[in-house]
């Protein structure tokens, strides 16, 4: 097996960006497939240069293992000259809001959504005001809000926040990772406040404690979804991208589309970054991603134009 890579940047602004690499894998049987590798060192992943080194040394991390899985899948469909997403239906997505104070209420695409994932927890007092404004803007009872705290709170600060929401708590579908996972504490808090928790960072651990989290978040870039399908049948499953490259988004979309049951997923993460040649080729229909033209996961012409380093 030979692995080549092409580094990329996903820009949020002129001075803020994230880095990763697309991979081109030539398997021993001659199949050639592509994949994304987008680490989050601040969440414990090795940086991209070390990820690539581990792959080339045949000692991949969990992120690398999944990259190889998707590269193989991509390569098999490229060999057949077929698009992997052409025969499945990608489920609808929520709209990702990374900064409540910067919501563009004039964005026509944003206004098509009725399910919103909101990153929150850094500045709760200010964010609470903006969150209520957002909820006011979508008064329909069908509009749902998923609050992602990234473990920034404590049980005490979560309690204060939840009580401060007042009647708006009825609009919250779930609170994701409100504070570091603890099965018994999460179970207690869910019952005490009639709140639904979603577990992301420790979602595999939460499978064996179904009372602690009503929803499990699956990130296919890191996790094998089969673990959740077999063990998490009493909990709702939500598939999200790893806020990675558009190629990685489509890999997550494939997993979301092939789960036994469809639910609203988190696949519209390209909206967190400035447009690039790959995201410009993404096709959407309302709240759904659609297949990108090409074989495998698509992007054939763009992949051919990249410079690859062995």
pLDDT digits (tens, 9 = 90+) for 1-54: 999 999 999 998 767 899 999 999 999 999 999 999 999 999 999 999 999 999
Distances (CA, A) of 110 to 107, 119, 186: 5, 16, 32
Q: What pLDDT, on the 0 to 100 scale, is given for residue 231?
A: 64
Same domain, 129 and 146: yes
Spell out, as residue ranges, where the chain has pLDDT lower than 50. none
Q: Could you give the CA distance from residue 5 to residue 28 in angstroms, rounded to a whole number?
A: 17
Same domain, 79 and 173: no
Q: Which of 119, 132, 191, 236 is catalytic?
A: 119
Q: What pLDDT, on the 0 to 100 scale, is given for residue 78?
A: 98
Domains in the chain: how many in total? 2
Same domain, 51 and 191: no
Strand residue runs (E) in the chain: 2-13, 16-26, 32-37, 95-97, 115-119, 144-148, 172-176, 197-199, 215-218, 236-239, 283-285, 288-290
Q: What pLDDT, on the 0 to 100 scale, is given for residue 208?
A: 86
Same domain, 38 and 147: no
From the CB of residue 152, how many other CB atoms can be counted at a distance below 10 Å?
17
Q: Could you confirm whether 219 is annotated as catalytic?
A: yes
Q: What's the chain's average pLDDT?
A: 94
Contact assessment for residue 97 and residue 120, using Cβ atoms and an 8 Å cutoff: no
Question: Tens digits of per-residue pLDDT, 185-213?
Answer: 999 999 999 999 999 999 999 998 989 99
Same domain, 64 and 103: no
Same domain, 202 and 233: yes
Same domain, 190 and 214: yes
Structural domain of 47:
2-86+299-305
Same domain, 77 and 122: no
165 located within any domain? yes
73 located within any domain? yes
Q: Which of 191, 192, 219, 236 is catalytic?
A: 219
Tell me, yes or no, if the pTM score tops 0.85.
Answer: yes
Same domain, 161 and 34: no
- CATH number for the domain including 50? 3.30.390.10
Q: Could you confirm whether 80 is annotated as catalytic?
A: no
């Amino acid at each position: 097996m030979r692995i080549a890579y092409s580094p990329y940047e996903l820009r949020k602004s002129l001075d803020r960006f994230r880095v990763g690499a697309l991979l081109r894998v030539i398997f021993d049987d001659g199949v050639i497939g592509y994949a994304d590798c987008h680490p989050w060192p601040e969440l414990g992943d090795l940086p991209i240069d070390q990820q690539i080194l581990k792959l080339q040394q045949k000692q991949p991390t969990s992120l690398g293992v999944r990259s190889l899985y998707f590269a193989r899948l991509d390569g098999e469909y490229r060999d057949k000259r077929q698009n992997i997403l052409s025969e499945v239906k990608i489920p609808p997505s929520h709209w990702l809001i990374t900064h409540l104070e910067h919501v563009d209420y004039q964005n026509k695409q944003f206004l098509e959504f009725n399910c919103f994932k909101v990153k929150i927890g850094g500045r709760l007092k200010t964010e609470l005001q903006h969150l209520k404004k957002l909820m006011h803007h979508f008064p329909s009872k069908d509009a749902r809000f998923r609050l992602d705290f990234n473990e920034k709170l404590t049980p005490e600060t979560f309690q204060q926040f939840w009580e401060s929401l007042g009647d708006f708590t009825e609009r919250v579908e779930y609170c994701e990772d409100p504070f570091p996972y603890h099965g018994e504490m999460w179970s207690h808090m869910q019952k005490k406040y009639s709140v639904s928790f979603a577990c992301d960072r420790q979602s595999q651990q939460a499978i064996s404690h179904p009372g602690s989290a009503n929803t499990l978040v699956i990130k296919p870039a890191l996790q094998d979804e089969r673990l959740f399908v077999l063990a998490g049948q009493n909990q709702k499953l939500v598939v999200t991208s790893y806020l990675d490259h558009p190629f990685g988004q489509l890999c997550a979309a494939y997993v979301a589309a092939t789960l036994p049951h469809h639910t609203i997923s988190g696949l519209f993460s390209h909206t967190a970054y400035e447009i690039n040649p790959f995201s410009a080729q993404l096709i959407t229909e309302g709240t759904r991603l659609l297949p990108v033209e090409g074989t495998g996961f698509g992007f054939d012409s763009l992949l051919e134009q990249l410079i690859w380093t062995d």
